[in-house]
Amino acid sequence: MAILSYPYLQILISLRSRVARALNDLTTSKVKVPATTLDALVEELSLKPPFLLKLDVQGAEQAALKGARDVLENCSVVVCETDVDDFQDINAMLLAAGFFLYDLTTLQRLRDGTLGWFYPVFVSGKLAHLKPQAFWDAGDNAAVIGVQETRRKIILEQNRKALNRLRYGQSGVGRNDPCPCGSGEKFKHCCGSY
């Protein structure tokens, strides 16, 4: 682990993490610092469960979770900042530890509109009664079907635009040119909106 200093902050980070590589060489200094595990910290401070664990450790989430086996046994909720590339491994670790994915919060998008990072919320399987058992009541079927039809149209339109951005985004189409997808709109208001 190292502390990276930037013009606007200092962070403790694993230098092997994707986040460290993505910071575009903005570091002004690197300092080696001692690190501990969450299990050792809980023991040292004589902390009592139940725990809520919130991780925001700049790409070192997997390392932190490996050092939290005992903590996770007594943990009710884990909230963990993650980027899209690291999510699958973090999800697998927490599923193996007996947690289930409860929610995704604070979705952050990159400049091109794609999902960059977010905060998944995991809940202990010991609290499985909190997991919804049904999506909706039978009496709400007609309303739910109407919402789903509207949602489907929106998703199809978003998918069309996303595919066209991939298809035409690098083609040299100007922002004010008609969109090559044939919508009749300017490119900047259609497939180039990101």
Rounded Cα gap, residues 23 and 8, in angstroms: 13
Phi-psi region of 131 (alpha: psi -120 to 50; beta: other; left: phi over 0): beta
Cα separations in angstroms, 184 against 38, 83, 180, 181, 187: 57, 36, 9, 8, 9
pLDDT digits (tens, 9 = 90+) for 41-71: 999 999 999 999 998 887 788 888 999 999 9
Indicate the pTM of the whole model.
0.64
Q: Which residue has the higher pLDDT, 99 or 192?
A: 99
Q: Mind listing the pLDDT tens digit for each residue in 129-138?
A: 888 777 778 8
pLDDT band at 12; cut points 50, 70, 90: low
Domain-by-domain residue ranges, the chain?
Answer: 2-130, 138-189
As a 3-state breakdown, the chain gives helix, strand, coil percent values, each rounded to 5, of 40, 25, 35
Query: CA torsion 56→62→64→69, rounded to 10°?
Result: 130
CB distance 37 to 13 below 8 Å: no
**Res. 173 pLDDT band, cuts 50 70 90:** confident
DSSP output for 133-156: S-SS-GGGHHHHHHHHHHHHHHHH
Cα distance between residue 163 and residue 160, in whole Å = 5
